[in-house]
Chains A and B, each alone.
Chain A
């Protein structure tokens, strides 16, 4: 199994498309950092709007590395599923397209093992992407913008809130958030890999994955009670942004944030369970179908 995994990772590492993802992340992060370095105040003004009538705030302090990373992740984690699909959607279909699938399946390697290894390789790729994002969006931002307390602008139901997390309470939240994002993106990887079993070129599963994510995300965001109550809980995309839960700090009765606390850990935990459930289910279906599949490519 480890031997196969090495082979898979080696193959991924040798493909140019692997590095597209890393380059794309670097580019997006750089643009964000440049834009905020140049004119972060406008963004702050937009977010603060009428609060500025009653409060003054040192905006240069507020636009710090921690804040930047949150802003970047907010946008980037919407795009990263595409990058994950780029690799995971190619896992089986790419081999089928090249004609190597039939060759590796005539090797003394069980299909279950192969699909698990493919999945694991996609997972490792996803984690590498996130590590890269952490380096670029968090550590580089910390270097450029410095470190200070972090402000979170948040819509909670009908209300908007501004949360402040003291700087010594931020890092662990990022680690947890990146961990959560890894689980969420692994669902995408599992989905893309499942779709890739049926295809003989990698474009189909990649596009199909992206379409599913987009459609589900759109449905997730339909603010109609009947959809919110009956459909939304069943869409995995509703849980993709759950990493933010780690930044929703718990507060006392009179609204003072409690250091080291989470507002709603059970909700995050349940989301994690649901996502992990999706991974197991998708992977199970993949194994089942792949074992049964006749290789005709």
Chain B
């Protein structure tokens, strides 16, 4: 699998603020690459640097194996993007908007071609309506049509689900998955919500304060050894005392209402049986596989660092 995007030691300084700090990562062909970080972590700045909207202070960006700045038009011709909100010319019709951006991308503008694209996102019937009259979801779909009109190899989506209703979020997920699975596109998608990245991305990076915290495959980062278990019992103090005698003592935290234990997922039955044997009445055991705590803890520790 070839490397589509390669970022090396990328930094961006805005006056006093270092928005992106020595960031390196790479995206392979066919990846859905999750870009995770809290608001203000430097996601947007990085994405804008990938799209030449912002000039890096230092570092190197290669896309499709070519240096970005010197091959700007060639690279951008094969890249589609939605940056935050999908904004377009509100005083123009859906058709006109798509035609304009298709033209700017160097795509031949035939009526049938544009209509086909509009049909793809379910806007064919409204092609003559001004965008001003569109709902957020319709704008989002038109934004996707615009991003895809020139059949790009790389698609960059900055917070694509922002402001969408649950149905819109679900549609967007399916669309992103389809782009990769059915069309073989490489997708970079950013979000401040792990839950979103977790369900669509195969690889991800977590950044905080412009710095890379971790990067890897989602599967790796969902490594079962990092399972966090929340334990609630009839007598938490008793349970705590029992746990102190086990190998999990070092990884346990007494939170009052519950006890949190970090362990390998496969060790869970072992712990439950140990507690039962000791006479602890177990009310609930909630293992959390998701990266949510991981993400939160990492970014929190980052915040304290």
Q: A residues engaging B (CB < 8 A)?
A: 3-4, 6-7, 10-11, 14-16, 98-100, 102-110, 292, 294-296
Contacts and interface: CB of A to CB of B under 8 A. Distances in A.
Interface size class of B (residues with CB under 8 A): 20 to 34
A283 to B, nearest CB: 21
B71 to A, nearest CB: 10
A105 B105 CA distance: 11
B120 interface: no
A156 B84 CA distance: 60
B77 A14 contact: no
Given A10-B100, A99-B87, A294-B53, A106 B79 contact: yes
Interface string B56-79: 000000000000000011101101
B51 A106 contact: yes
A11 B88 CA distance: 12
Interface stretch (B90-98, B196-204, B263-271): B90-98
Interface of B: 14, 48, 51-55, 72-74, 76-77, 79, 81, 83-85, 87-92, 96, 100-101, 103-106, 146
B104 A98 contact: no
B54 A106 contact: no
18 contacts: A3-B103, A11-B92, A14-B89, A14-B96, A99-B88, A102-B48, A102-B53, A104-B104, A106-B53, A106-B83, A108-B74, A109-B73, A109-B104, A292-B55, A294-B48, A294-B54, A295-B54, A296-B53
A99 B85 contact: yes
B140 to A, nearest CB: 13
Contacts of A16: 91
Contacts of B88: 98-100, 103
B69 to A, nearest CB: 11
A185 to B, nearest CB: 25
B52 A105 contact: yes
Contacts of B106: 108
B104 A4 contact: yes
Contacts of B89: 11, 14, 98, 100
A105 B103 contact: no
B87 A103 contact: yes
Contact of B53 (A6, A15, A105): A105
A35 B73 CA distance: 57
Contacts of B96: 10, 14
Contacts of A109: 73, 104
Nearest to A94: B89
Given A107-B101, A107-B105, A102 B83 contact: yes
A14 to B, nearest CB: 6
A108 B83 contact: no
Contacts of A11: 89, 92, 100
Contacts of A296: 48, 53-54
Contacts of A110: 72-73
